[in-house]
Chains A and B, each alone.
Chain A
């Protein structure tokens, strides 16, 4: 397993490591530029009249940003456009200089590529990545900005574009689950060879494809990313001068460390054992807990219930829809993406992913003593089994509702084997085991030769 990216605890330290002085950085920061007397000191050249530059001034009161769109649906850009306070216009006019964005830039083609090139050369920019990298067909599953000549064929691959843009970036922000670990595109059978930014860069560096230090990577999961999260990270980095504290998947701790379940407004119904078993039912109208129809809130870490979506108006569960766990990321294991781990979305989960182990819940209920796990699982069968309520109801091996609706029932050990996803996970485990066995054989064989 590749090592974790070293995250500078302070943005400043990181900049220093990259040869950018405090003074240079101050120039980039909003609000600070004015105190340096920037506008008086420099010849007030006007916007696009600057000779040979298509990005205007290299530095100014805005922090340069390159927004790369890779294998994506543009949903994260769309989502960003829903931001308010500050809204998207304020961000691109008064907070960052968005020198490259396929969706928002006025320019196109050669001149837009030139804008990216000049920004990279100048350095000190933030790199935002939306969408997965595609390794399929030697990286030809994604090609952007090719001038048609054989010499530039290689550099127009999405993978190479990211490498190049990362080479001089101050930090990388992966917006959305796809950039973080490949997202749905990496779901079985991963037809285009999708992989997240962190895993790709670490692998490429280990393979000797480049030797620069990989900049700090901040993953912002969810599909799409929540604009409140993206803007909060931008504010952290640009105004507060810090990289937010990150969790084990390099996602900001203050957003992605608590379970959705723990902050869910329907949690009370869960505690009362009041569940929606059927859409269109009375229970649904009453706003009962969606756990029985597959809600992944109890296993998904995000602050969705607090930050909500579309300017704080609503979020999934409040629209009556179970959480589908789109905030789940595994940056170094793209086959453990949110789709693979959470589908079928509207069934109660059939396997639990605990520290990378996929286990059948019925086994866990009897075999594992951990209260949290047992509680979680037991809730599926009858809340009172957990022991929180003394002398609770007898354990239901199978709910009556489940016998009537086998297709939606919590998978038993036998049923789990018929589920496509479970099969894939088993195959993966087998394959991992085989390859590690092989490599150990190989190395021992080699040792023998010597």
Chain B
């Protein structure tokens, strides 16, 4: 185990959580490229000094140009095509695009469509969060190979049955103690042994279990529980997606949400199918996901000691109530920072959003502009290593700012806004989590501790339970609406020339679509995606983006396998294929100055 030393990582989090750095303190350049277990292509370039990150550059490596593809097409086409930004959160893109389309059309969707959309959006949140926690993030904390290797015989060529039985028994006891769901641990060990003895590593190829960050702290039993639930989660995320499939035809990339409402017709037959799955998911989240969070977190209290970031949060809000007011959404909209003090949430103002491209591969005059007036043109400066310039342009991602400052988006942002707006469910569960962490740490930890890699990770799991709870309500609400004759699902456009903005949430955070249409044809389309906020590069003033800021001061003991840094990156659940986008050049120049209409030759 590394010696624990208390350092001030970034800004002080207001806690006394120890951060693990070990002697000898390492120095040098540490690059994670590609970052794994995320959506898209992300590069982390860190300068490490005396065992902590001293400076960092986060770079998105893919340019696709969605907005340009949408121009000249129709709002319904934009709804279908823009989903293809992201296969993890297509539903959110569909809905945000729909809202932009509906505002342009001058309409509001009927009540039935509102509830149906909440349900399919909710299903996607459950899918995304379950998959993220167990199948993407968990492998930074859980080592699935350790339990099986611990029960092999001395020759290492077969399972020692007595050892395996003992471990399975102990694991069952621990699961019961922790209040998390048990599994057939003996069968699991046998299955894993079949895999391990074959000797091919499959998804564990090139793993970081031996990182000199020395950070896999779980007891063998908890590793085995985590592995069992990794496999269960693969099943449960698919069950969540089945709900999206029932409503949307297929998932990823649903078909039924279009500007005006939904093509899905709720019936007794399909509502029944949805409700059964919602109940099953809610039970699993309650009995497995939440207890796992509680069981694992105390072993990783040090993870609460780094990764604070900018400590300012945006949430546009998601899941409409009948009022359709974003401030009243089930997960409400708002902007909040620790500097504002508990309870002081402001509502967002679209005019305060700006973007700069000083450090991005786009032409730029350094002026922050509102996305509605974006003036950006791709510009990759050279076909050699000089194109990547830490002191200049180093990413395809742009730098969005709210009120001129970097803000974090995501589950933690939504929960902190809801917490500060006094949402009872969220407040109750956050306070319970803080009490649990305090008792594990032996010291009182306040809401400040949430501004950390651990806080970001745990908050998302509380949100998962909240959404599952709401979905059960919504099925009931839809049944009542059907009975009461208030379940219409579609509204025709009132006009076909106009302009509108959709501000909604993807599982990864605040999502923004803006469009202008003339005679039902899109003349301009703008998108700002949650990860654009989070993986933002420096702005014109040299201020780092939220993920860059969160990585500052993170301990690194292993330059090749910087596990603490990787955990911090994963805690944002980044989605970089989403994040890269461009605006229409408003300069009057056409895009063909950069590329021929039929692609770059």
Contact = CB atoms under 8 A, between A and B. Distances in A.
Interface string B242-278: 1011111111111110101111110000000000000
A59 to B, nearest CB: 8
B26 to A, nearest CB: 15
A224 B242 contact: no
Nearest to A184: B84
A446 interface: no
B377 to A, nearest CB: 11
Contact of B41 (A106, A144, A339, A428): A144
Nearest to A284: B265
Given A112-B34, A191-B64, A72 B577 contact: yes
A321 interface: yes
B43 interface: yes
A107 B491 contact: no
Contacts of B86: 73-75
A357 interface: no
B62 A188 contact: no
Contact of A106 (B152, B198, B209): B209
Nearest to B493: A407
Interface centre among B206, B235, B248 (most CB of A within 10 A): B206
B599 A195 contact: yes
Interface string A50-81: 10001111111110100001011111111101
Interface residues of B, number: 120
Given A54-B206, A77-B87, A105 B37 contact: yes
Contacts of A113: 34, 206
B208 A108 contact: yes
B76 interface: yes
B64 A192 contact: yes
B85 A190 contact: no
Given A55-B201, A105-B205, A107-B205, A193 B597 contact: no
Nearest to A182: B599
Interface stretch (B332-340, B380-388, B465-473): B380-388
Contacts of B591: 189, 191
A31 B238 CA distance: 28
A144 B488 CA distance: 47
A300 interface: no
Contact of A279 (B39, B65, B261, B385): B261
A44 B31 CA distance: 34
A215 B208 CA distance: 32
A313 B242 contact: yes
Interface string B572-601: 000001000010000000011001011111
Contact of B560 (A79, A111, A134): A111
A190 B561 contact: no
B61 interface: yes
B249 A76 contact: no
Given A93-B202, A94-B195, A136-B599, A111 B561 contact: yes
Nearest to B569: A108
Contact of B265 (A73, A98, A313, A320): A320
Contacts of B260: 279-280
A280 B113 CA distance: 10
B346 interface: no
A279 B601 CA distance: 43
B74 interface: yes
Interface in B1-55: 29, 31-41, 43, 45
B566 A108 contact: yes
Interface stretch (A257-265, A340-348, A363-371, A379-387): A340-348
A146 interface: yes
A316 interface: yes
B63 A192 contact: yes
Contact of A150 (B31, B76, B197, B384): B384
A280 B488 contact: yes
A185 B577 CA distance: 12
Interface string A91-109: 0111011111111111111
Interface in B370-427: 378, 380, 383-385, 387-388, 396
B200 A60 contact: yes
Interface in B72-108: 72-74, 76-77, 80-81, 84-88, 90
B251 A82 contact: yes
A214 interface: no
Contacts of A190: 69, 595, 597-599
Contact of A183 (B84, B385, B490): B84
A426 interface: no
A140 B255 contact: no
B184 interface: no
B210 interface: yes
B33 A191 contact: no
Nearest to B29: A148
Contacts of B205: 54-56, 97-100, 105-107, 112, 115, 119
Given A54-B201, A313-B245, A224 B87 contact: yes
A193 B600 contact: yes
B264 A310 contact: no
Contacts of B383: 137-138, 140
Interface in A31-46: 33, 39, 42, 44-46
Given A184-B69, A309-B245, A48 B252 contact: no
B64 to A, nearest CB: 5
B164 to A, nearest CB: 15
A335 interface: yes
Contact of A310 (B34, B235, B251, B489): B251
Contact of A73 (B84, B201, B241, B488): B84
B384 A142 contact: no
Interface string A271-300: 000000011100011000000000000000
Interface in A173-188: 183-188
B280 interface: no
A74 B203 CA distance: 17
B262 to A, nearest CB: 8
Contact of B253 (A119, A138, A224): A224
A202 interface: no
A432 to B, nearest CB: 10
Given A106-B203, A192-B64, A319-B247, A185 B520 contact: no
B135 interface: yes
Interface string A105-147: 1111111111100010000000000000011111011111111
B281 interface: no
A82 B36 contact: no
A7 interface: no
A142 to B, nearest CB: 5
A75 B93 CA distance: 13
Nearest to B113: A280
B234 A343 contact: no
13 contacts: A71-B64, A72-B87, A89-B231, A109-B36, A137-B378, A146-B33, A147-B33, A280-B489, A285-B265, A310-B251, A320-B263, A339-B77, A344-B74
Given A54-B205, A71-B577, A142-B61, 4 more contacts: A71-B62, A74-B88, A109-B561, A144-B61
Identify the 9 closest CB pairs spanning chains A and B, nearest first.
A75-B87, A191-B65, A280-B490, A310-B245, A107-B206, A319-B249, A321-B255, A420-B72, A320-B263
Interface of B: 29, 31-41, 43, 45, 61-65, 68-69, 72-74, 76-77, 80-81, 84-88, 90, 110, 131, 135-136, 139, 145, 149, 152, 155-157, 191, 194-210, 231, 234-235, 237-238, 241-242, 244-256, 258, 260-265, 378, 380, 383-385, 387-388, 396, 488-492, 496, 519-521, 560-561, 566, 577, 582, 591-592, 595, 597-601
